Amino acid sequence: MSIRIYNTLSKSMEEFTPIEAGKVRMYVCGPTVYNFIHIGNARPMIVFDTVRRYFEHKGYEVNYVSNFTDVDDKIIKAANEEGVEASVISERFIEECKKDMAGMNVRPATTHPKATEEIPEMLDMISTLIDKGHAYAAEDGTVYYRTRSFKEYGKLSHKNLDDLQGGNRELKVDGAEQKEDSLDFVLWKPKKPGEPYWDSPWCKGRPGWHIECSCMSKKYLGEEIDIHAGGEDLIFPHHENEIAQSEAANGKTFARYWMHNAFLNIDNRKMSKSLGNFFTVRDISEKYDLQVLRFFMLSAHYRSPLNFSDELMEAAKSGYERIINCVSDLSFLIGKKENSALSDEEKELLTKVSEFEKSFDDAMDDDFNTADAIAAIFELVKFANNEIKDEGRSREFLEALKGKIVELSDVCGLIVEKKEELLDSDIEALIEERQQARKNKDFARADEIRNELLEKGIVLEDTREGVKWKRA
Ligand code: AMP
Ligand code: ZN
């Protein structure tokens, strides 16, 4: 079956057809780096990393681009408070963000562009928009997008321009009096004292927020892409404005599928510092393995609001541990078994394993329903836990079970095989200790060491030439 995606643009489920066969061009709006990322920011990272992994699992080659917004009011404010350049703040938090991503097993994007490194591309696109009549420079050098010039404005957020105009009328925006129309938005703005700035044909200044994604997407993925994604708060105005910029400048459909994750709330309230219910990913890492946070995020469908609470994190922890324990039990048994081929009964049983995999794929094909996909992994774990009790099962059979659990978990980005890699020298030392114990007729200790090694996947073999070992 093919992958179906809920497209915000059409408000319906659509079958995924790539622009180029076997390839996916995907852009995910990344964080503004003025602080540690919070657990709300972690949701799109985890969700869309899982989408990427599933496409790869299905054999697609994914070009995945995700930006860092490294010039913005909040970054400038933090820099001024600390008395440093804005780039000091943004570089610091890009590095911290990458550490959190690694902890959550979110793979680095194919490219992570930064706004400040793409200014020439932005100036180019703004010039094109002016030339085509979609933008204009005001007297002070601010460049505005002429929103009404783009006839399809509102198609993503399903908003009507006149309703927007009504809602906007009361807004008191800085410099609003120089706009031709209250709907027009900023592409370039003049510098203020203490702000980073760049030269441009209109004034020394810096870009508006929306233009960076239009330019980076074009530069790294091309004028037309398959998937554009982010949190649902970005639908309007950010993504609506990106479409207006890109489609007016390039004359092509910008993105075919628009995916948006719902919000993460805490204790059923919007996350906010002032309410005291605000956690960074770093805060959570002090209490939990970040894999538990990943498991928690994937336990709900990405389009459903998700509530963060201690109870749900504890439930996620025990769910995640259930998979780890099963894999660890399987590893232990595999290490103890001599090689043996599959019996006919086992071959029959493995068809059952394919059914669990099919349920997993069906769930993921259905707009990446990770909640049901994890339920399919649990079914497989339950099946494996039952099979473990049968002492007659062959090594090959147990390996097949373990392999499938690890593989499907990996599609979700969940690391379920704890690899406490023992160094060769540690192994040799333990073997030496075991030999000594045997010489002293301390067979209990000798057995203990053998089992300890087995648990870590090291199999010992006593031969005439001495003890040999291998990794299971
Ligand atoms: P920002 O740094 O605010 O631009 O956000 C980066 C990404 O995190 C965007 O895709 C946002 O939509 C997303 N995001 C921010 N807060 C939340 C939240 N509470 N729940 C889910 N996604 C969020
Ligand atoms: Zn964006």
Same domain, 178 and 146: yes
State whether 158 and 37 are in the same domain: yes
Residue 169 has pLDDT above 60, yes or no: no
Q: What is the pLDDT of residue 172?
A: 46
CA of 37 to the centre of ligand 1 (A): 9
User: Are 200 and 316 within one domain?
Assistant: no
Q: Considering only CA atoms, which residue is closest to atom 11 of ligand 1?
A: 231
Ranges 37-51, 258-272, 447-461, most confident: 37-51
Which pLDDT score is estimated for 464?
Answer: 81
Contact 262, 37 (CB under 8 A): no
First-to-last C-alpha distance (Å) of the chain: 36
Q: Residue 420: pLDDT band by 50, 70, 90 thresholds?
A: low
pTM of the model: 0.89
Q: Look at residue 459 in the predicted model and tell me its pLDDT.
A: 82
* pLDDT value for 96: 97
Distance (angstroms) between ligand 2 centre and the Cα of 239 equals 7
Residue range 424-446, pLDDT digits in tens: 888 889 999 999 999 999 998 99
Q: Is residue 314 part of a domain?
A: yes
Lowest mean per-residue pLDDT among 132-136, 142-146, 170-174: 170-174
- pLDDT at position 363 is 98
Contacts 24+ apart (CB under 8 A), 9-14: 9/155, 9/156, 9/257, 9/258, 11/158, 13/367, 14/257
List Cβ<8 Å contacts ≥24 apart for 197-202. 198/119, 200/123, 200/126, 200/141, 201/123, 201/127, 202/137, 202/141, 202/142, 202/143
Q: CA-CA distance, 177 to 171, in Å (whole number)?
A: 11
Q: Is the pLDDT of residue 346 over 60?
A: yes
d(CA 360, CA 362) in angstroms, rounded, equals 6
For residue 433, give its domain range.
424-471
pLDDT above 90: percentage of residues in the chain = 82
| Euclidean distance between CA atoms 433 and 446, whole angstroms | 8
Q: Pick the ligand that lies closest to the CA of residue 27.
A: 2
Residue 246 clears pLDDT 70, i.e. is over it = yes
364 within domain boundaries: yes
The reply to whether 102 and 215 lie within a common domain is yes
Give the mean pLDDT of 255-265: 97
Binned at pLDDT 50, 70 and 90, residue 272 comes out as confident
pLDDT at 418: 76
Same domain, 184 and 225: yes
Peptide bond preceding 237 in cis form (omega within 30 of 0): yes
Select from 41, 93, 284 the residue to mutate for testing ligand 1; criterion: most ligand atoms less than 8 Å from CB. Answer: 41
pLDDT (0 to 100) of residue 168: 56
Q: Kindly report the CATH number assigned to the domain that includes residue 30.
A: 3.40.50.620
Query: How far is the centre of ligand 2, averaged over its atoms, from the C-alpha of 439 (Å)?
Result: 68
The answer as to whether 303 is a domain residue is no
The pLDDT > 70 percentage for the chain reads 97
Ligand 1 neighbours by CB, cut-off 6 Å: 29, 31-32, 40-41, 43-44, 230-231, 233-234, 261, 263-264, 271
CB atoms within 10 A of CB 142: 22
What is the structure's pLDDT at 170?
47
- Please check whether residues 335 and 444 belong to one and the same domain: no
The residue nearest atom 7 of ligand 1, judged by CA position, is 41
Angle at 159 between CA 156 and CA 165, to 5 degrees: 135
Q: Whose CA is nearest to atom 8 of ligand 1?
A: 41
Residue 289 lies in a domain: no
212 and 320 co-located in one domain: no
- pLDDT in the model for residue 23: 98
Read off the pLDDT of each residue in 233-244 and give the average, rounded to a whole number: 97
Please write the tens of the pLDDT for every residue from 65-111. Answer: 999 999 999 999 999 999 999 999 999 999 999 999 999 999 999 99
Give the domain-ending residue among 200, 233, 261: 261
Q: Are residues 145 and 192 in the same domain?
A: yes
Distance from the alpha carbon of residue 32 to the mean position of ligand 1, in angstroms: 9
Residue 313 maps to which CATH number?
A: 1.20.120.640
pLDDT-derived band of residue 173, with 50, 70 and 90 as boundaries?
low
Q: Is the pLDDT of residue 166 over 80?
A: no
Report if residue 218 sits inside a domain. yes
2 CA to centre of ligand 2 in angstroms? 28
Checking if the pLDDT of 171 tops 70, the result is no
User: Does a structural domain hold residue 367?
Assistant: yes
In a shared domain, residues 333 and 388? yes
What is the position in ligand 1's atom list of the atom closest to the CA of 233?
A: 12
Together in a domain, 357 and 433: no
Question: Do residue 132 and residue 238 come from a single domain?
Answer: yes
Q: Which band of pLDDT confidence, cut at 50, 70 and 90, is reported for residue 277?
A: confident
Domains of the chain: total: 3
